[in-house]
Structure 1
Amino acid sequence: MSTSDLTPLMRQYKEVKEAYRDAIVFFRVGDFYEMFFEDAKEASSILNITLTSRDKNSPNPVPLCGIPHHASSNYVSKLLKSGKTVALCEQVEDPKFAKGLVKREVVRLYTPGTLFDAELLDSKESNFLSAVSWTTQINKEEFFRCGMAAADLSTGEFILAEFFGPHAQDDLLDELLRTGPQELILPDNSSQGHPSLQRLLAAISTLRIPCVQDDNPGDSHMDAAHRLLLDQFEVAGLENLNLDPSMVSVQAAVMILKYLHRTQPLLRHGHLQRPQVRHTTQEMHVDAMTLRNLEILFPLNPEQKNATLLSVLDHTVTAMGSRLLRHWLVRPLLNVRAINERLDAVAEMVKEIKGRMELRETLKGIPDLERISSRIALETGTPRDLLNLREALSSIPTVRQRLIPFQSPLIKGLLQGWDDLQDLAMFIQRAISPEAPINAKEGGIIQDGYNEEVDDLRRITREGSRWITDLEQQERHTTGIDSLKVKYNQVFGYYFEVTKPNLSRVPGHFIRKQTMANAERFTSDKLRSLEEKITGASLTLRDLENELFQAVRQKVGQETLRVQGMAKRFGILDLILTFSEISAKYRYSRPELHEGGGIHIKEGRHPVIEKLLASEGFIANDTCLDLDENRLLLITGPNMAGKSTFLRQTGLIVLLAHIGCFVPASEAKIGLVDRIFTRVGASDNLAGGQSTFMVEMSETARILGASTSKSLILLDEIGRGTSTYDGLSLAWSIAEYIQDRNHLGARTLFATHYHEMTELENHRSGIKNYTIAVKELEDNIVFLRKIIPGKADRSYGIHVAQMAGIPKQVISRAEEVLSQLEQSESSQKTDSEQTPNDRNDLPTPHPILEEVKQMDLFTMTPLEAMNRLAELKKQIG
C-alpha cells in the first residue's frame, strides 16, 4: 500500500514506525493504544488479543489490534519478556485544541534495562543497564584494558569498574554476571570483544559511539563525551566526580547516558547518583564458576529454586534490604575492620531479641523508598506514590529512637548524619489529600487548605448541586409541574425534563433541547448560567489540581538524594537484622577473621543442605587449612559420600564470614581469602566447540593463572574427563603446582578418585590425606558423611550404581570385571609396597610414565600437558 493511499492518521503512524522499526509501536488513539500492520499481527499473537482491521470496506484493510491505555503495563511486560521493545507514542496535545490531526510523539522506549515502573520490576532484584568499553593493543584482537558502567534507573544507582591485565576479559565477564544487567550496550567495535559478550544476554542493544583510544585522549569525541557526563552531574570537571579522563569506564558511562536520552527523550534523570567506582582490591573476587558451583544466587538444578545460599539468607523485610543482600553476597569484604563492624552489629542484635523484633516489625511497614523516590524524581510518580512516601517517612523517627540504645560502631555510624525527613513528610501531608486517587487526572488530589483557589473552586462544585436542586424546586413551584426534574448527561449537560402530558404548562423562558418518546428536554438562561459556572469550576479545578500536583512532585523530587541516603541506611539495617535473625534461628556462630593464613572450622555445616534436610539432620565436619603443613587436603572416598558437600560448605562458610554474617559452625577462625575458586562437576559448551574435558581444563587453567597464596581453591575430580593415565598425570601435576610455594602455595581442598595420588602426602610437604568414613555391614555399606584423616582404597562405585537402580545382572557382571581388573593390576606390580623414586614420580609403573618423569609440567599449561601425554600413549600403542 502506497503512502498516498493512507489516511492522514496512518501516514502519521508510518512516520513514527519508520523511526522505530525494531520496536512494537503503541500508537495512542483516544483511550486506546493501537498497533497496525506487522506490529498488529505480531503483538496479537504474543498478547493473545483479537486481530482485526481498520477500514474493513477498503480494498486493502489495515491489520489492527488495540489495548486500553490504562492497562498497558501488563501488555508491555509480556512483550518485553518475549524479547520485544515497545515505543510509546502519545498524543502530546489536547484534541480539543488541535488544529487538524492531533500531534503525536514517542515519549518513551521500553527496553529491559530502562524500566522503573513498579509493576514491571521484581522488587527483590536490581534492574541494571550496563555498557562496556575497551582499548585494544595494536595488531592484536584481544583487548587487555576494559571498563564497565551500570545504572539502575529504578533506584538511581550508577557504578563504574576498570579491569587491566591478562585476565581483564574474564574479570569483566565476572563483573557482568555479578551485576546481572537486563540489557547490555556495546560500542561500535564490539566485534573485537570477547565472544562471550555476545552470548551473555538475549537482549543486546548496540549504540554506535566512538571507541576510547589510549593514544588520543584529547579527541573531540572524548571531549563531547565528557561534556555529557559533566552536564548530567552539573560539575566543572571529571575530577569533581573522582574520575580520571584515562578511565575506560568513563566512555561506558557516557554510552549509558546517551542511551537513556534516546529511549526516554522527555524524562529528566536528575535522580542518578554520582558514579561510584568499584575497587576490586577492596572486595573478594567471586567469579562465574564460584557463583555457579556454590549455588550462591541460582541453583544448579532450576527446579530446586530454594537450593541457594540467597534463599537461605533472604529473611529481609524491605525491598532495599533484599536487593542489598544480593550485592553483599557477590562482593564479600576484604577489610577485617569493616567485616568486624558488621559482625559486632550482628552480635549485638542477636543478644537484644526484643529490640531486634521491634525494629524488624517497624521496617516491615516501610515501602520501597529507593524506587518510589526515583519515580517521583522522574516525574512519573502518582499521587499514591507521594502518599506511600509520606507513610514511609513517618516511620523514620521511630526507627531512630529504637536504634539509640545500640552501641556497636556500625549502628552508631548509621545514626551519624541521620535525616528524619519530617519536613518532607509534613509538606506532603499538607499538600496531598489522603484520599487521592492513583491517576492525577481524576482530581481530588490536593488537600483542603493547601491552596485558596482550589478551596474556592471546590466550594463552587460542592454548592453547585444545591444550586441545581434549588432551581428545580423553584421551577416546579412556578410551573406547577410536580414531575419536572433537572437531569444531566455528558452530551447535553444539564436540562429540564417534562413529560408529554405536562407540555402545555411549560413556561416561555424554557428553550427546547431534545424531543423524546414520552418527554421533552429543555434548558433556560439561568440553567445555562449555573451549568457554565459549575462546569467551568470543575474543569478549572481539575486543571489547577493537576498543575499543583506537578509542582508538589517536582519539589519532593528535589529531595531525592536525601531520601536515597536514608533508603541505603534502611537496607543495611535490614541486613544486619536479618543476619542476626538467621544466626539465632539456625544456631550460627560468630567467625573470627584475621590476616593470617589459617582456616579452622569446627563442626561446619552446609547452610543450604542443612536446611533442606532439616528432618534428617546434618553431619558436621571440621576443616583445617593453613599455609604451612595443611596447604592442600587431598580427599578420597566413595561416590555420594559427601566430598563435594564438604568442599562447598567450606567455601560457603568462608564467604559468609567475609560478608559479615555468622556461620553454620560451632567455631570458625578464618584468614582473609582474596578469591574463592571452584571446579566442581562436569559440563560442556558444545555451542562453543568445547567438550566436557575442554571446559574442565579451561576452568582449571584460569584457576592456576589467577590464584594467589591467599586464595581458597576447591577442586573436585580433576582429570576425570579423559583416560585414566592422562587424568591421573594432570591431577598429580596440578596438585604439586598448587601446593608448591614457588608457584601458588594456596589453601586447597582437592577431592579425587585417583587413589594413587594419596602417595603425595609422603613426598610433598603441606599435603595431607583425608577420607570419608565408611562402615561396611555384610553386603551393604553405610556412608557416615564424616571427614577423617587417612586415605580410601575403594570408590564403591558399583555400590552407588546399585543404589541408583542399575539392574542386578549388570551389577553382578561389573563385580566380576572389577575382580578381574584388580587381579590383573596386582600381578603387574613387582612390589606392592613400591613408592616413587623421587618427588616427581607417579606411582603407576607404566612405560608412559618414564617420559612423564622427564617432562617439566610446571612450565606447561594443563592443556599442553594433556596433548603431550596423548601423543605418548599413541607411541606405545
Structure 2
Amino acid sequence: MSFTPMIQQYLQIKQQYKDSILFFRMGDFYEMFFEDAVNASKLLEITLTARDGGAGKKVPMCGVPHHAAETYIARLISKGCKVAVCEQVEDPKEVKGLVKREVIRVITPGTVIEGQCLEDKQNNYLASVLGESGCFGLAYTDVSTGLFMFTEYTGENAVTEVMDEVFRLQPSEFLAPGSSSGFITNYLGQNKNAVITTIDEENYKYENCLKLIKDQFGADWVQEESVSLKLGVRAAGAILNYLLETQKRTLQQLAAPKVYFSNQYLKIDSSSRRNLELTKSIKDGTRWGTLIWVLDYTSTAMGGRLLKLWVEQPLVNVHEINMRLDAVEELSKNLLLRKRIKDYLKDVYDLERLASKVSYGTANARDLLALKKSFYLLPSIKMALVSCEAELIVKIEQSLDEMKDLMNILSRAIADEPPVSVRDGGIIRGGYHPEVDRLREASRSGKDWLARIESEEREKTGIKTLKVGYNKVFGYYIEVTKSNLNLVPEYYTRRQTLVNAERFITPQIKEYEELIMGAEDRLTQLEYDLFTELRQKVCAEVPMIQQLANKLAVLDVLISLAEAAQSLNYVRPLVNNSNRIIINEGRHPVVERVMGAGEFVPNEARLDRENRLILLTGPNMAGKSTYMRQVALITLMAQIGSFVPASSAEIGIVDQIFTRIGAADDLAGGRSTFMVEMSECTEIVKKATSESLIIMDEVGRGTSTYDGISIARALVEYIHNTIKARTLFSTHYHELTDLEELPGICNYTIDVREKDETIIFLRKVLPGKVDRSYGIQVAKLAGLPELVLSRAKNFLIELEENKTHNSHKKVISAGQDQKSCKNCSSKAIVEELSRIDPVRMTPMEALNRIASWKEKLENQHGIENKLLKDINIFSKN
C-alpha cells in the first residue's frame, strides 16, 4: 500500500520507537495513528477517528491539543506506557512540502520530570539491576531531583538483600539485560507493578559503562572504591546510557553516581517494613497511620522526600545520629526560631525539581520566578541560623549560598506575572533590555493610534457605528454595517463581506498594521531569545541550586522532627553502643496519635546482655503486638535522629530490625500462611546478629499445637543460645514460659481483669506469665452468639480434662473397673484445681467452676467423699 508522504514519515519514525506511543506533532495537535491511536483512545478516553492514509485508505487516528499534552502524557505514564514526543523541527512557514520531524524525548515511568506525573513528597526512581554468579549490582536515579546512587550485594543473602532494597525504593521502572529480565520479572518485579525495560547486553559491559560515566561526570569521579564495584558500575552505566538515549540531552542536573553500602544504615527487610508501616499502611497503602504520617511537619516538597529517606534508612553511626539529635534538641527548645524558619520555608519552592526542569529546557518564566522568590528568602534564613550552636545547623548556616547574583539577574529580567507559554511574550520586565522597551512602546503606541483612527473615521464619514477591529486571517480592518454602506468613501478598499456588514482597509491602516504586527512579532521573538539565554545562565548554576536544595531539605527535616517532639511530647533518647534498649513509659507513636494525647497506656521495656529475650504472654487483643511494635519503632526513631515517645530511653545501636508479625498467605506464589511464616523465620535466623532486634509474634500458629509449640520452643532456644539478639517473643503457648530458667530469658505478660465473665484489657505489661489465652472471652467481645460461646466453654472443659487425663494414662481398656475411671476423673479435677489462681478469679467465675466440677462428680458412681469435702472447703473460702 502506498501511504501519503506524511504517513510514511510517521511510520519511519515509529519504527524506531516500537515500544512507545508516538505523539506526532501536527500544527496545534499531537496526533497518533494506527495501533497507537486505537490504544491511546481507550486509555485516554478520547474519540477515535480516521484519516486518509493514501490510495483511498483510512487509517485510525486520534489527537490531543499540544498545550494540554502534559495532562494526557501523565495519564499514559500512570498506566505504564512510554511516550515518544515527536516535534516539528522546521518552521512550516519557511518550508515547502513536508515539515521535518524528530523525536526530542521519550518519556517513561522512570524518566518523568513533569509535575502532574510526580508526587511532591515522593521520589520517582529508575532502577537498574544486574546479577551474575549470585552477586548483584544495583543502581537507581531520580531524574526529577538529580539523585544517582549505586551499590553491590554479595554473599549468601545477596538475593534477599537486593530484593529488600528494591522493595524500599519501589522504582517506577526497571532496567535489566535480556539474560536477567526473567529474574527481574519473577522476583524483584513482584514488589511493585513497575515497567521492566530490557537493555542490550552491550550496554552493560564494564569498559563501556566506565567510559560513559567518566565522559559524563569527568575523570575526577573515578575512585578506587567506586571502580572496584564492577557490577554496580555496570548497572549505573546502563542507566546513564538509557537516559542519554531517551532524553536526548546532556543531563546536567544529574549528580555523579555515588556509592553506598547497606551496612551504613539500619537494615530492615521488606516484611519488617511492611509490618512496621513506616511509609505505607498495610490497609490501603496510604501515608495515613504510618510513622512518616506522625513525623511529617515538613514545609517543602524536598524536605518531605528527605524525611522519607531518613525514615527508610536510619543510621548506625552513633556520632551522626547524635549530631541530628543535637540539632533537633536545639530547635525543639526555641519555638520562635522554629516558627520563623518554618514561615520562610513555606515560601520556598521545590528547588530540586525546578533545577531539573531548567536543565531539560522545559522551565518556563514562572519556574524562574519561583527560583527568584526562593532565593529572596535565603538571607533571612541564614540570618535566623546565626545564633544556633548545634554542629549540623552551624554547617548548614556557614555553607548556605545566598545566590545573590542569580537572584539579581532574575529580579531584573522576569516580569512579575509572566504567561505560562514562553512563546507569548510578556516575559521580560521593562528596563531590562532597551530593544524590548522600544518594540513594546511601538506596539503600544500603534494600538493607541488605531483607537484614534476609529474616532477620526467616524467623524469623517458620519458613520457612528463604524469600528476598527482585528483577526488573525485578515489583520486590521474597518467594519461598516450594510445600512451605512452608502456613506463609505472611495478610499476604502473592501477586504471581507459578512452577512450584515462589510470590512474595509485604508492605506493608513495598512501602514500601521505592518508597523504594529512587525513590532509584536519581533518583540515576541526577542523576549523568547532573551529568556532562553537567561535559562542557560540558570542552567550553569544547577549544581549550586541542588546543593542549596539539599541544605534546606535537611533544615526542613530537623525542624519537622523538632516540631513533632514538641507537639507530641517526645524526649531525646540516649543513643550509644551499649547493646541496651531501656524504654521507660514508652508509647506507640502511631496508635497514640490516632487515639489522642493521654489516652495511650505507656509501658516499660528492658533488653540488655543479661536480659536479652522477653517471652510475652497474654490474651488476644490485649496489646502484645502494639507493645512489640512500639519497641521496634522507638528504636528506629532514635536511629533516625528523632526524639521518641517515652519518658526516657536508652538505645544501644541496632544493626537490623526483624519482625515476624501477623498472618498472610502468598496465593500467587503458592505459599500457605504457615509457609510464609516459616520463610520469614528462616530469613531472620539466617541474617540476624547479636546486634539485631527481633520481634516475633505468635510463631507456630499455622500448624498443629504440638508442632507449633515444638517449632516456637526451638526458635527461642536457637535465638537465645546461638544468635543472642535482643528479642521480643510473644506466644499463646504457655508451655514456653518455663524457658525463663535459662539465663537471659524473662517472662512478661499483659495484665487483664475479668468481671462477670467479661475480660477487661489493662494494656499494662508486667513481669510474670499467664496460663490461659482468654480466647472465649475475646470471642464474646467480638459478638459471637451466646449459644456458640456456651458450647465452646463446654468443649474447652472437656479438652482440658482429656489433656490432663491423657498425660497420665493414654488408654483405658474396657476391662478397667469403675474405681479406675473414678480415680481418673478425680485426678483430672485436682490437676485443674492446682492450676487455678484464686486471686485472679472473680467470685462468680469461681462458683461456676465449682458447680461444674460438682455436677460431673455427682453424675458418676461412687463419689469420693474426701474430694467433695475438699471442694466444699474451697467453696467456703
User: 112-121 vs 709-718, which deviates more?
Assistant: 112-121
Q: Quick check: 1:596 aligned with 2:553? A: no
Alpha-carbon displacement from aligned partner over 1:391-447 (angstroms, at most 9, x marks no partner) = 011011111111111111111111122201121111111111112111101101111
Q: 1:122 aligns with which of 119, 141, 144?
A: 119
Offset of 1:667 from its aligned partner?
Answer: 0.6
Output the amino acid matched with 2:163: L
- Cα distance in 2, alignment partners of residues 328 and 578 from structure 1: 12
- Cα distance in 1, alignment partners of residues 678 and 189 from structure 2: 23
Q: Does the CA-based 8 Å contact 2:32-2:62 persist in structure 1?
A: yes
Offset of 1:464 from its aligned partner?
Answer: 1.2
Q: 1:691 aligns with which of 672, 687, 701?
A: 672
User: 190-199 vs 352-361, which deviates more?
Assistant: 190-199
- Cα distance in 1, alignment partners of residues 92 and 234 from structure 2: 43
Q: 1:193 aligns with which of 160, 183, 192?
A: 183
Q: Quick check: 1:642 aligned with 2:633? A: no
Match of 1:247?
Answer: 230
Q: 1:411 aligns with which of 389, 393, 405?
A: 393
Unaligned 5+ segments in structure 2 are 809-830, 835-877
Output the amino acid matched with 1:689: G
- Cα distance in 1, alignment partners of residues 333 and 99 from structure 2: 66
Q: Quick check: 1:328 aligned with 2:310? A: yes
Offset of 1:298 from its aligned partner?
Answer: 1.1
Q: 2:280 aligns with which of 298, 304, 314?
A: 298
Q: 2:769 aligns with which of 787, 791, 801?
A: 791
Q: Does the CA-based 8 Å contact 2:80-2:195 persist in structure 1?
A: no
Match of 1:456?
Answer: 438
- Cα distance in 2, alignment partners of residues 478 and 315 from structure 1: 70
User: 564-573 vs 35-44, which deviates more?
Assistant: 35-44
Q: Does the CA-based 8 Å contact 1:433-1:445 persist in structure 2?
A: yes
- Cα distance in 2, alignment partners of residues 833 and 98 from structure 1: 102
Alpha-carbon displacement from aligned partner over 1:709-733 (angstroms, at most 9, x marks no partner) = 0000001111111112222111111
Q: Does the CA-based 8 Å contact 2:109-2:195 persist in structure 1?
A: no
Match of 2:46?
Answer: 49
Q: 2:209 aligns with which of 207, 210, 225?
A: 225
Q: Quick check: 1:560 aligned with 2:550? A: no
Output the amino acid matched with 1:277: V
Match of 1:839?
Answer: none
Query: Quick check: which one's helix share is greater?
Result: 2
TM value normalised by structure 1: 0.88
Match of 2:99?
Answer: 102
Offset of 1:757 from its aligned partner?
Answer: 0.7
**Pairing 1:498-537 to 2, within 5 Å after superposition:** 510-516=492-498, 520-537=502-519
Offset of 1:509 from its aligned partner?
Answer: 5.2
Residues 609 and 32 of structure 1: CA distance in aligned 2, closer, same or farther (over 3 Å):
same
Q: Quick check: 1:703 aligned with 2:684? A: yes
Match of 2:783?
Answer: 805
Unaligned 5+ segments in structure 1 are 137-143, 214-220, 835-877
Q: Does the CA-based 8 Å contact 1:28-1:89 persist in structure 2?
A: yes
Q: Does the CA-based 8 Å contact 1:499-1:518 persist in structure 2?
A: yes
Alpha-carbon displacement from aligned partner over 1:104-158 (angstroms, at most 9, x marks no partner) = 222222211111111221101011111111222xxxxxxx221111111111111
Q: Does the CA-based 8 Å contact 2:170-2:191 persist in structure 1?
A: no
> Which secondary structure state, in structure 2, belongs to the residue aligned with residue 665 of structure 1?
coil
Output the amino acid matched with 1:106: V
Match of 1:767?
Answer: 745
Output the amino acid matched with 2:696: L
Match of 1:842?
Answer: none
Q: Does the CA-based 8 Å contact 1:33-1:66 persist in structure 2?
A: yes
Q: Quick check: 1:287 aligned with 2:269? A: yes
Q: 2:732 aligns with which of 723, 739, 753?
A: 753
Match of 2:825?
Answer: none
Residues 489 and 304 of structure 1: CA distance in aligned 2, closer, same or farther (over 3 Å):
closer
> Which secondary structure state, in structure 2, belongs to the residue aligned with residue 456 of structure 1?
helix
- Cα distance in 1, alignment partners of residues 712 and 95 from structure 2: 78
- Cα distance in 1, alignment partners of residues 677 and 572 from structure 2: 35
- Cα distance in 2, alignment partners of residues 632 and 519 from structure 1: 96
Q: 2:256 aligns with which of 243, 264, 274?
A: 274
Q: Does the CA-based 8 Å contact 1:599-1:625 persist in structure 2?
A: yes
Offset of 1:325 from its aligned partner?
Answer: 0.9
Q: Quick check: 1:550 aligned with 2:532? A: yes
Offset of 1:289 from its aligned partner?
Answer: 1.4
Output the amino acid matched with 2:27: G
Match of 1:814?
Answer: 792
Q: Quick check: 1:259 aligned with 2:242? A: yes
Alpha-carbon displacement from aligned partner over 1:37-94 (angstroms, at most 9, x marks no partner) = 3322322222222223334999643333222221122222222222222222222222
> Which secondary structure state, in structure 1, belongs to the residue aligned with residue 201 of structure 2?
coil
Alpha-carbon displacement from aligned partner over 1:211-252 (angstroms, at most 9, x marks no partner) = 799xxxxxxx4322222111211x126525962154311111
Q: 1:209 aligns with which of 197, 200, 207?
A: 200
Residues 342 and 130 of structure 1: CA distance in aligned 2, closer, same or farther (over 3 Å):
same
Q: Quick check: 1:150 aligned with 2:148? A: no
Offset of 1:478 from its aligned partner?
Answer: 6.8
Residues 476 and 211 of structure 1: CA distance in aligned 2, closer, same or farther (over 3 Å):
closer
Q: Does the CA-based 8 Å contact 1:79-1:85 persist in structure 2?
A: yes
> Which secondary structure state, in structure 2, belongs to the residue aligned with residue 750 of structure 1?
strand
Q: Does the CA-based 8 Å contact 2:206-2:233 persist in structure 1?
A: no
**Pairing 1:429-508 to 2, within 5 Å after superposition:** 429-470=411-452, 485-497=467-479
Match of 1:856?
Answer: none
> Which secondary structure state, in structure 2, belongs to the residue aligned with residue 768 of structure 1?
strand
User: 467-476 vs 295-304, which deviates more?
Assistant: 467-476
- Cα distance in 1, alignment partners of residues 501 and 490 from structure 2: 17
Match of 2:301?
Answer: 319
Q: Does the CA-based 8 Å contact 1:636-1:771 persist in structure 2?
A: yes
Q: Quick check: 1:584 aligned with 2:584? A: no
Offset of 1:305 from its aligned partner?
Answer: 5.1
Match of 2:25?
Answer: 28
- Cα distance in 2, alignment partners of residues 676 and 501 from structure 1: 90
Residues 721 and 518 of structure 1: CA distance in aligned 2, closer, same or farther (over 3 Å):
closer
Alpha-carbon displacement from aligned partner over 1:528-567 (angstroms, at most 9, x marks no partner) = 3322222111111111111111110111111111111111
User: 460-469 vs 571-580, which deviates more?
Assistant: 460-469
Residues 799 and 482 of structure 1: CA distance in aligned 2, closer, same or farther (over 3 Å):
closer
- Cα distance in 1, alignment partners of residues 20 and 261 from structure 2: 37
Q: Does the CA-based 8 Å contact 1:226-1:238 persist in structure 2?
A: no
Match of 1:93?
Answer: 90
Q: Quick check: 1:721 aligned with 2:702? A: yes
Q: Quick check: 1:358 aligned with 2:377? A: no
TM value normalised by structure 2: 0.88
- Cα distance in 1, alignment partners of residues 409 and 224 from structure 2: 32
Q: Quick check: 1:676 aligned with 2:654? A: no
Match of 2:754?
Answer: 776
Alpha-carbon displacement from aligned partner over 1:715-756 (angstroms, at most 9, x marks no partner) = 11111111122221111111111111xx21110001111111
Residues 446 and 569 of structure 1: CA distance in aligned 2, closer, same or farther (over 3 Å):
same
- Cα distance in 1, alignment partners of residues 250 and 369 from structure 2: 22
Match of 1:867?
Answer: none
Q: Does the CA-based 8 Å contact 2:177-2:201 persist in structure 1?
A: yes
Q: Does the CA-based 8 Å contact 1:135-1:212 persist in structure 2?
A: no
Q: Quick check: 1:182 aligned with 2:182? A: no
> Could you say what the CA RMSD is over the residues aligned between the two structures, in angstroms?
2.5
Match of 2:820?
Answer: none
> What is the aligned residue count?
812
- Cα distance in 2, alignment partners of residues 765 and 734 from structure 1: 16
Residues 503 and 794 of structure 1: CA distance in aligned 2, closer, same or farther (over 3 Å):
closer
Offset of 1:193 from its aligned partner?
Answer: 3.5
